[in-house]
Structure 1
Amino acid sequence: MKILLKPLQIIYCIYALLIFIILMFLALPFVVVASAFGIKGGNFIYKVCLVWTRIWYFFIAIRHKEIYEAPHDKEQQYIFVANHISYMDIPPIVAAIRQPLRVLGKYEMIKIPVFGWIYKAAVILVDRRDATHRSKSVRALKAAINHGISIFIFPEGTFNISERPLKDFYDGAFRIAIETQTPIKPLLFVDTIDRLHHRNIFELTPGKCRVVFLDEVEVKDFTMKDIQHLKQHVYRLMEDGLKRYRVYP
């Protein structure tokens, strides 16, 4: 049966890619203009990306759903963290977080024609192989926080290709949280790996795409000595949360 359905899936993937590209070129002029207006322009770019995501989801039959396991204050500034399992992790960020935001993103993505330019205008880039570049990214993230803007970081760094719910976390998000005294808001991307597996872009499928908001984690009065405790606490919250929605070996 899967063999018979494969041609249909490939056709669907090509269709989804074409819609994505059309919307990308429609968004491009707005991004070009907005990129000249500093922080306000950056905030507007995220609104453009939100419209882009909603229209794309509509045409490719992906149903975005937000689940709030705890109250979420949309006026509160946060460091958002989430699990990373798919290229489809990006659209839910702008679909679910409707407040001023900057995302820490992979430097390699700017190499993609046209999309890479929009990506560069929208995110704070990091090249994890370059210590100087990493330090620059941290300064940019802190600057965003100082301007009242929330930030988003994948604490796993790269795709989780293991059978565990989560890979080990890096310290970065938790260090910044303590240094800036900004609460952490963990999110769960439950279905993105079902919509598009990281191994093949031609495995995109329609269906639900749930984003789960967990309870915020306060860092008031935490010091650098508490980084590992904070990291492990958030890890456990997210791991337990994922196990409530998915079955793992």
Structure 2
Amino acid sequence: MLRLLRYIGHRLYTTWATFWFVLPFVLTYPLQWYLSRRPQHHRYLHALNRQWARLFILMWGVPVETIRKQPLPPGQPCVYVANHSSYIDIPLLFRSIPGWLNIMGKSSLAKVPLWGPIFGSVYITVDRSSAVSRGRAMVQARRTLEAGRSVVIFPEGRIGQHPGQQLDEFKEGAFQLAIAAGVPIVPVTMPLNHRFMPDVEGLRVRYSPLAIILHEPIPTAGLTAEDAPELKQRAFSVIASALRPQAGGIPEASTWRKPAPAPPPACQRTSA
């Protein structure tokens, strides 16, 4: 009975969370499409995206712990580097980081129906299997920083294989970019997103607290390209230090059926 009630609760909460994610987008889609068609209006579209993220996270009813280790440099563009563990990483970043952001996401995001073309026209998309696409994305990011707009990059390049427990190896591009542009690196840790919506087949949503930690900016003034590996390792250590291994692992799939009993050991089957 408890298993059935838990299953029903999971299904109801998943429906609730999906409803509040989809409804504001549907209602504002004509405005989003209009703003996405005109580059001079992209700033307002990002502001709309931030309010959308704030609304649906609020309606999810989950507590969000936001920690800022140090005030961010006013008027200073930065390269934010964050761990990647869930589909909700981008909304939580939009909700928590002030200003007009650009974000580097995988090219497949631009193929999502309705929302994808809007994302692809306003933000940076990259096919990480293509050297040409990676180079083009870095050029776009450099121009973004030169225009005074901060950039968010996931240096793992994908959702981590062990979310909440350990980070995948960082790529060096974000750190080369920050050094070349002379802007600070801001490490960001999101230790609990995988508990709410993990990267699994299908849709799996679980009520869970969220947290985001914006660490102290790391200056890059005076650094050269040769310092990128050390800068990368420093940011890696800072982000990893705020993970919460006790919250690691993926929530189990929900089912109302009792699990089938495990088969007896092979030696017992043989002797029988």
TM-score normalised by the chain length of structure 1: 0.92
CA distance in 2, matches of 1:122, 1:205: 30
CA distance in 1, matches of 2:59, 2:217: 33
Larger radius of gyration: 2
Paired position in structure 2 for 1:136: 136
| TM superposition shift of 1:98 | 1.5
| TM superposition shift of 1:248 | 6.0
* C-alpha distance after superposition, 1:155-193 (max 9, x if no partner): 000011226421100011001011111100011112211
| TM superposition shift of 1:3 | 5.1
AA aligned to 1:15 is W
Structure 1's unaligned 5+ residue stretches are none
AA aligned to 1:5 is R
CA distance in 1, matches of 2:14, 2:145: 37
| TM superposition shift of 1:66 | 1.3
| TM superposition shift of 1:201 | 4.8
Would you say the 8 A contact 2:192–2:247 is kept in 1?
A: no
| TM superposition shift of 1:43 | 1.6
The number of aligned residues is 247
CA distance in 2, matches of 1:160, 1:25: 30
Paired residue secondary structure (1:66)? strand
Question: What aligned pairs does 1:199-218 form with structure 2 within 5 A after superposition?
Answer: 199-218=200-219
* C-alpha distance after superposition, 1:35-86 (max 9, x if no partner): 2332x42221111111111221222213333112233335321100111011
Would you say the 8 A contact 2:187–2:239 is kept in 1?
A: yes
CA distance in 2, matches of 1:185, 1:227: 14
Q: Cα–Cα, structure 1 residues 216 and 229, in superposed 2: closer, same or farther, change >3 Å?
A: same
AA aligned to 2:150 is S
AA aligned to 1:115 is W
More helix by share: 1
CA distance in 1, matches of 2:124, 2:183: 18
Q: Cα–Cα, structure 1 residues 201 and 188, in superposed 2: closer, same or farther, change >3 Å?
A: farther
Structure 2's unaligned 5+ residue stretches are 250-272
Would you say the 8 A contact 1:74–1:99 is kept in 2?
A: no
Paired position in structure 2 for 1:198: 199
CA distance in 1, matches of 2:248, 2:57: 27
Paired residue secondary structure (2:243)? helix
Structure 1 runs of 4+ with >4 Å offset:
245-249
Paired residue secondary structure (1:102)? strand
Q: Is residue 2:114 matched to residue 1:114?
A: yes
Q: % of aligned pairs identical?
A: 23
Paired position in structure 1 for 2:56: 56
Q: Which moved more, 1:115-124 or 1:150-159?
A: 115-124
CA distance in 2, matches of 1:227, 1:201: 38
| TM superposition shift of 1:246 | 4.9
TM-score normalised by the chain length of structure 2: 0.84
